[in-house]
Structure 1
Amino acid sequence: MSYPVISLFSGAMGLDLGLREAGLDIKISQDFDPWCVKTAEANGHKSIPGDIRKLISEDPECRFLLEPAGLVPGEAFAVVGGPPCQPFSTAGKRLGTNDPRGSLFMEFIQAIRVIRPRFFVMENVKGLLSVPLKHKPLKDREDKHLEPEELPGSAFEIIKETFTELGYRIVYGVLDAAHYGVPQFRERLVIIGSRDNEDIFLPKPTHFQIHQDPASRWNTLRDAIEVLENEPVGPCASFSPERIKFLREVPMGGNWRHLPEELIPIAMGGAYQSGGGKVGFYRRLDYNQPAPTLVTSPVQKATMLCHPTQDRPLSVREYARIQQFPEDWKIEGGISDCYRQIGNAVPIGLGKAIGQMLIAVANNEAMIKTRRLRGTSVHQNMNEIHHSAVEQIAVGKAE
Structure 2
Amino acid sequence: MSYIPTTSISSTVIPSIPILSFFTGAGFLDLGFKQVGFQPIWSNEANPFFVRGFEYAMSQLFKTADSIKITNTTSIADITSDQIRYEAFGAQSPPDIFGIIGGPPCPDFSIGGKNRGHEGDNGKLSLVYIQQILALQPTFFVFENVPGLISTKKHRVFFERLKSLLSPKYTLSMRVLNALEFGVAQDRPRVFLIGILHEWMNAHVDQHSSISQDDWFPWPTDPRYNDAKNRFLWPTTSPFGSEPDQPIGIPSELMVNHWIGDTNSLTQLPNGGETFTPHSDKFMRIAEGDVWSRSFRRLHRWRYSPTVAYGNNEVHLHPIYPRRLTVREALRLQSIPDTYVLPSNIALTHKFKMISNGVPLILAQKVAEACWKLLTGQTDKVNQKNYA
Once the two structures are overlaid, the 10-residue window that deviates more, 18-27 or 224-233, is 224-233
Report deviation, 1:217.
Answer: 7.0
**Structure 2 partner of 1:158:** 161
1:237-287 CA distances to partner (integer Å, 9 max, x unpaired)? Answer: 13323323423xx2x2236xxxxxxxxxxxxxxxxxxxxxx4345432111
Report deviation, 1:8.
Answer: 0.2
Whole-Å separation in 2 of the counterparts to 1:61 and 1:30 = 12
Among 219, 222, 230, the alignment partner of 1:202 is: 219
2:266–2:328 contact (8 Å) kept in structure 1:
no
1:184–1:292 contact (8 Å) kept in structure 2:
yes
2:297–2:315 contact (8 Å) kept in structure 1:
yes
SS of residue paired to 1:103: helix
* Equivalent position amino acid for 1:32 in 2: A
Query: What is the aligned length?
Result: 314
1:130–1:154 contact (8 Å) kept in structure 2:
no
Q: 1:117 to 1:335 in 2, by over 3 A?
A: same
Whole-Å separation in 1 of the counterparts to 2:16 and 2:358 = 25
SS of residue paired to 1:182: coil
1:150-197 CA distances to partner (integer Å, 9 max, x unpaired)? Answer: xxx7111101111102x1111101110011121211011110111122
Once the two structures are overlaid, the 10-residue window that deviates more, 320-329 or 201-210, is 201-210
Q: 1:113 to 1:72 in 2, by over 3 A?
A: farther
Among 183, 187, 190, the alignment partner of 1:188 is: 190
Once the two structures are overlaid, the 10-residue window that deviates more, 335-344 or 278-287, is 278-287
SS of residue paired to 1:190: strand
Whole-Å separation in 2 of the counterparts to 1:244 and 1:284 = 9
* Equivalent position amino acid for 1:283 in 2: R
**Structure 2 partner of 1:55:** 79
Report deviation, 1:76.
Answer: 4.7
Whole-Å separation in 1 of the counterparts to 2:293 and 2:107 = 24
**Structure 1 partner of 2:174:** 172
Whole-Å separation in 2 of the counterparts to 1:309 and 1:26 = 40
Output the aligned Cα RMSD. 3.1
SS of residue paired to 1:39: helix
SS of residue paired to 1:27: strand
Higher share in helix: 1
Report deviation, 1:94.
Answer: 9.1
1:88–1:98 contact (8 Å) kept in structure 2:
no
Whole-Å separation in 1 of the counterparts to 2:92 and 2:43 = 14
Report deviation, 1:103.
Answer: 1.5
1:130–1:156 contact (8 Å) kept in structure 2:
no
**Structure 2 partner of 1:239:** 278
1:212-232 CA distances to partner (integer Å, 9 max, x unpaired)? Answer: xx8977522111111224553
Q: Which protein is bigger by CA-based radius of gyration?
A: 1
2:315–2:324 contact (8 Å) kept in structure 1:
yes
Whole-Å separation in 1 of the counterparts to 2:19 and 2:366 = 16
Alignment of 1:289-300 (within 5 A): 289-297=303-311, 300=313
SS of residue paired to 1:357: helix
Q: 1:64 to 1:181 in 2, by over 3 A?
A: farther
**Structure 1 partner of 2:133:** 112
Q: 1:172 to 1:65 in 2, by over 3 A?
A: farther
Whole-Å separation in 1 of the counterparts to 2:16 and 2:170 = 22
Segments of 5+ residues of structure 1 without an aligned counterpart are: 135-152, 256-277, 368-399
* Structure with more relative contact order (C-alpha pairs < 8 Å, separation 6 or more): 2
Whole-Å separation in 2 of the counterparts to 1:41 and 1:98 = 28
Whole-Å separation in 1 of the counterparts to 2:92 and 2:38 = 15
SS of residue paired to 2:276: coil
Q: 1:87 to 1:225 in 2, by over 3 A?
A: closer
1:76–1:116 contact (8 Å) kept in structure 2:
no
**Structure 2 partner of 1:222:** 257
Q: 1:244 to 1:325 in 2, by over 3 A?
A: same
Report deviation, 1:11.
Answer: 0.7
Report deviation, 1:2.
Answer: 1.7
Deviating 4+ runs (over 6 angstroms): 214-217
Whole-Å separation in 1 of the counterparts to 2:251 and 2:283 = 36
With normalisation by structure 1, the TM-score equals: 0.70
**Structure 1 partner of 2:235:** none
Whole-Å separation in 2 of the counterparts to 1:285 and 1:33 = 30
Alignment of 1:314-325 (within 5 A): 314-325=325-336
Segments of 5+ residues of structure 2 without an aligned counterpart are: 1-14, 60-67, 206-215, 233-248, 381-388
